Amino acid sequence: MPMPDVQVKPVREGQAHKRSAILTAARELFVRDGVERTSMDAVAARAGVSKRTVYDYYGDKRRLLLGVVEQAGEAALITLRRLIERHLPPVLTDADRAATERALVSFALDLGRSQLAASDYAAAVRLITENEALLPELDDHPLETAHNRALAERLDLLSRAGLLEAPDPELAADHFHALTTLRVLNEPGRRRAQLDRVDRIMIDGAHAFLRAYAPSGGGHDR
């Protein structure tokens, strides 16, 4: 007799819970002790699972590290999309330039507070920086492309509406990130923890972006 669906669901939920516990434990230990010094036994103990479970799910420590980074990237993408819909909805194309500029600054500010100031995201960035050679998969990773495309699509709408001048929306998205998020991530950890400094960088970066991509025939007024 086949098992009813209701009995299958807890198993899947249990697997998801174990994966989450393993990734959380690995991230914390990798950041605290370094990847090389962290054993799979230590990850298993901290996650409350067997070492066999860790190996069954991730195979080896390198793939576990990749899982930690990908989890952070997926969470960051969800946050990015949510903030785009909140601050830069498609209906914004019916607004005037002043409203568009306010929306982009508000988007940048919220992005800094919601994502860049998050300890999990900062930890993932640190792990990538310190272990880049172990993660060749991150070159042209689909998650990185998805991050850029999410913003590029909305910048393209604003450009078509005459609110920005961005003939290459993907390049414009790259420039926006370079002027805002990357500047924050390049700050020393102590400064990155200062929310007012993060705010200032994100606001200044948004204004610089607006000046660079202002429609022809008018500059950006702060």
Condensed to tens digits (0 to 9), the pLDDT of residues 10-43 reads 435 568 899 999 999 999 999 999 999 999 999 9
**Average pLDDT value for residue range 43-65:** 95
Residue pair 146/130 in contact by the 8 Å Cβ criterion: no
**Average pLDDT value for residue range 104-110:** 97
**Would you say residue 218 has pLDDT above 70?**
no
Q: What is the pLDDT of residue 8?
A: 33
Q: How far is CA 101 from the centre of its chain?
A: 23
Q: What is the pLDDT of residue 158?
A: 95
Q: What is the pLDDT of residue 222?
A: 40
As a whole number of angstroms, the distance between CA 74 and CA 143 comes to 7
Q: What is the CATH code of the structural domain delimited by 71-212? A: 1.10.357
Indicate the fold that domain 1-59 takes in CATH.
Arc Repressor Mutant, subunit A (1.10.10)
**Average pLDDT value for residue range 50-69:** 94
Q: How many CB atoms lie within 10 A of CB 3?
A: 8
Where exactly are the structural domains of the chain? 1-59, 71-212
Q: For residue 106, name the pLDDT band (cuts at 50, 70, 90).
A: very high
Percent of the chain surpassing pLDDT 90: 58
Nearest to 111 by CA among 168, 211, 182, 27: 182
**Average pLDDT value for residue range 84-103:** 90
Mean pLDDT score of the chain? 86
45, two tokens: 């103990």
Query: Worst-scoring range by mean pLDDT, 14-23, 98-107, 113-122, 132-141?
Result: 113-122
Q: HSE on the CB side for 91, CA within 13 Å?
A: 3
Identical fold at 1-59 and 71-212?
no
163, two tokens: 């609110």
**Would you say residue 136 has pLDDT above 60?**
yes
Q: What is the 3-state secondary structure (H, E, C) of the chain?
A: CCCCHHHHHHHHHHHHHHHHHHHHHHHHHHHHHCCCCCCHHHHHHHHCCCHHHHHHHHCCHHHHHHHHHHHHHHHHHHHHHHHHHHHCCHHHHHCCHHHHHHHHHHHHHHHHHHHHCCHHHHHHHHHHHHCHHHCHHHCCCHHHHHHHHHHHHHHHHHHHCCCCCCCCHHHHHHHHHHHCHHHHHCCCHHHHCCHHHHHHHHHHHHHHHHHHCCCCCCCCCC
Residue with more model confidence, 102 or 114: 102
Q: For residue 131, name the pLDDT band (cuts at 50, 70, 90).
A: confident
**Would you say residue 185 has pLDDT above 90?**
no
